[in-house]
Structure 1
Amino acid sequence: MARRKTLRIATFNVNGIGTRLPHLLAWLDRTSPDVVALQELKATDAAFPADALEQAGYGALWLGEARWNGVALLARDAVPVESRRRLPGEPADVQSRYLEAAVHGIVVGGLYLPNGNPQPGPRFDYKLRWMKRLIRHARSLVDLPHPAVLLGDFNVIPTEADVYDPKAWRRDALFQPEVREQFEHLLAQGWTDALRSVHGDSTIYTFWDYFRQHAERDRGLRIDHLLLNPILAARMVDAGVDRWVRLQDKASDHAPTWVTVRT
């Protein structure tokens, strides 16, 4: 078997893996990503469709939760080697939001950052605490002598260029100055925002809500991010969004977002 020259690393908030499994399998079959982080499984560990994914050629790790949250990591023709479940720093936090593993020679941190709405309030405070914990842990990854990626649904709109109507979102937790500032602190460690690095100032979104045909009209947000440490960023080839998945019937409100890197 010829060695692959590139790896495709992707993140996809499936918004319920039980409901969206056909969409997920169709996307995997069409695009053959090598590494995938999933969010919002909305399924217990026992309900995770490991057998269906194995038949599609993917080994998996997962951290389920009955009604909300839930994350997973998939590896094409391999099984991820787990290194961490949940972020350190708050032992009482048992929400299923972070999973870390070695996959195809890359340290992969898949995350589902808290939404934080309504704000102000306890949920927003939790979001900020979670971001600070992520920043502390990310310092141990960014300077690794081997490739690392943090990817997932960050629930952060980094700039006004990342939302179709900044005024309409000015009071949302995803767009608050404190949240954007924390995201900037994370990037300042040395992470490369793959989509912005490739597409510059071009309009590119990863999420479209279900109202008023926003997906069809491309009125979206960029809240799913792939952050590469310097070792991996030096190998980046391309990055993009598979918007066609969002345009399918009964689709998730997110689209798969990906980066390709040289092996």
Structure 2
Amino acid sequence: MTSLPDDWFTDEEFWIATYPFMFPDTAFAAAAEDAAKVMALSGCAGGALLDLGCGPGRFVVPFAQAGFAVTGVDRTPFLLDKARAYAAAQQVSAEFVQEGMRAFVRPGAFDIAINLFTTFGYFADPKDNAKVLDNVFASLKPGGVFVLDTMGKEVLARVFAPTGAQTLDNGDALFQRRAVTRDWSLSESAWTLVQGERARTFHVRHWLYSGQEMRRMMLDAGFTRVDLYGNLDGEPYDVEARRLVAVARKR
């Protein structure tokens, strides 16, 4: 796999170019149901909510509609503009903050924090990923809860495919070449977007975590209890798991 910069996720052109593939209308349509599942899984039905890595706001809106005071944080201006427009179109109020996960912390401000759709583990230095968990822990009120959704190592080992492709109705196509590197520590992939006669390739990388590795990191950050699930429905994290969902609680 070609070497890529540590800060690949800061390339705004990547998010602009791949947006139609990553955030189709169906993803927004499913968000309300997923938000309800997060509420059931966390036991939190209201209060102040932090959506860390909120992207275009697809979870901001249903949580705001459910009565939460939502703060959406993302470092990408393009995605935050999308989030603001979506919230305005749905006539909901939310706070949006342009800041990276390593930097954002608001001590004791939130009842619940969420980090969904594999937006964790992007930083090259593992200590920076641990710093994100420290920040979330500090930002939660006593009794607060953090729900993180990602692709666990155990799940990826079962479903891994070295290549993939998506095509939009307009003919645009996205091709992916994937690899697992550093002794099952990293997921690295090349995303090639073909639009007519133009082709562009972006390189994506994020750290992989097993369920127990994620639990240990969260406990090290100060959380006193971490429950693992195989999806947002709360099914077990076992050989049938489709995702790694960690629910961490602060005393």
TM class, shorter-chain normalised? 0.3 to 0.5
Give the strand-richer structure, 1 or 2.
Answer: 2
TM-score w.r.t. structure 2 length?
Answer: 0.40
